[in-house]
Amino acid sequence: MTMRAMEIASKTLTLTRRPMPEPGADDVLIRVTAAGVNRPDVAQRHGVYPPPPGASDIPGLEIAGVVERVGASVKTLKAGDRVCALVTGGGYADYCVAPAAQCLPVPKGLSDVEAASLPETFFTVWSNVFDRGRLAAGESLLVQGGSSGIGVTAIQIAKALGNTVYVTAGNDEKCRACESLGADKAINYRTEDFVEVIKQLTSKKGVNVTLDMVGGSYVAREVACAADDGRIVLIAFLDGPEAKFDIMTVMRKRLSITGSTLRARPVPFKAAIAQQLREKVWPLIEAGKIKPVIYRTFPLEQAMDAHKLMESSAHIGKIVLTVA
């Protein structure tokens, strides 16, 4: 049997037909109803973020839909279950295989479009802010790019768990949107110096954790406005992969600078994140304390238009493909 899928050819997305994937013993086959669009998808289309060995070359790292079939070893899911899942690729299609351990139930009250917007950003934020960045209750968080999918997720989870949240964004509209989601202060990086604003807001103490998607010249500035024993977590480098910063300041403040990527990590690592999300974050979603922020949806065949919107950075929140 074949299915529709969007494939990458000459840095564009083309609708084609592919064989339906087969689930392994620990996998499930999901009939996709919605798929999230993320910057790694755009990077893959441009040829700078190839899928890891064994992953589908079809883009798409997060999906929602209905379990069609389960692998021989799967005991936690059954055909007909509504799920959302983190995958290493293959999401822009009618059907997608996902490890059962990386599937989560669609939170009560959410549509499939809303559920499809969760996995990539929620797994990323939990892994980097709370596991790697060790953000503790009562500490402060600075998020670079607060209106992005990662940003709106980080704002809501951190606020729901009792943290002070500062963000940067590119215009006043985006700043207002971030503050409406709970950010204590949104800083327009085009008109304000976030280092000076953070120093003023924290009485020169600085922030405990910074989640950085910009890299480049931002790292030195993040070092400057970090608190003693602060942690800077790098997850992207829109401003470039190289940074210069004051090592003496890092030593004096006892800073930790770290970073990670998620896509190539093994299933057990992602399964552990899924379990933490199910225990600690899913109840907050179902209680209405954290809400998906959907900026716009596109049908699967218009995935290229969705990518153009992503590249424009005009969006606030998530972009999602709907799959008929």
Tens of pLDDT along the chain (324 residues)? 999 999 999 999 999 999 999 999 999 999 999 999 999 999 999 999 999 999 999 999 999 999 999 999 999 999 999 999 999 999 999 999 999 999 999 999 999 999 999 999 999 999 999 999 999 999 999 999 999 999 999 999 999 999 999 999 999 999 999 999 999 999 999 999 999 999 999 999 999 999 999 999 999 999 999 999 999 999 999 999 999 999 999 999 999 999 999 999 999 999 999 999 999 999 999 999 999 999 999 999 999 999 999 999 999 999 999 998
Q: What CA dihedral angle connects 127, 128, 134 and 136, to 10 degrees?
A: -90
- Integer angstrom CA distances of residue 194 from 58, 157, 185, 188, 239: 38, 22, 11, 8, 16
Domains assigned to the chain: 2-118+263-322 (3.90.180.10), 122-259 (3.40.50.720)
Do 89 and 56 touch, CB atoms closer than 8 A? yes
Strands 256-259 vs 226-234: parallel, antiparallel or unpaired:
parallel
Torsion of CA 131, 177, 105, 40, to 10 degrees: -60
pLDDT value, residue 39: 96
E strands, 10-43, are 12-19, 27-37
What confidence score (pLDDT) does residue 324 get? 82
β-strand 318-322 against 294-299: which pairing, if any? Answer: parallel
**Distances in whole angstroms, Cα of residue 171 to Cα of each of 1, 87, 167, 314:** 48, 33, 12, 10
Q: Are 60 and 35 in contact (CB under 8 A)?
A: yes
pTM to 2 decimal places: 0.96
User: Identity (one letter) of the amino acid at 100?
Assistant: A
Taking CA atoms, 22 is separated from 2, 134, 173, in Å, by: 11, 38, 45
Q: What is the pLDDT of residue 210?
A: 98
Structure confidence at residue 155 (pLDDT): 98
- What is the structure's pLDDT at 317? 97
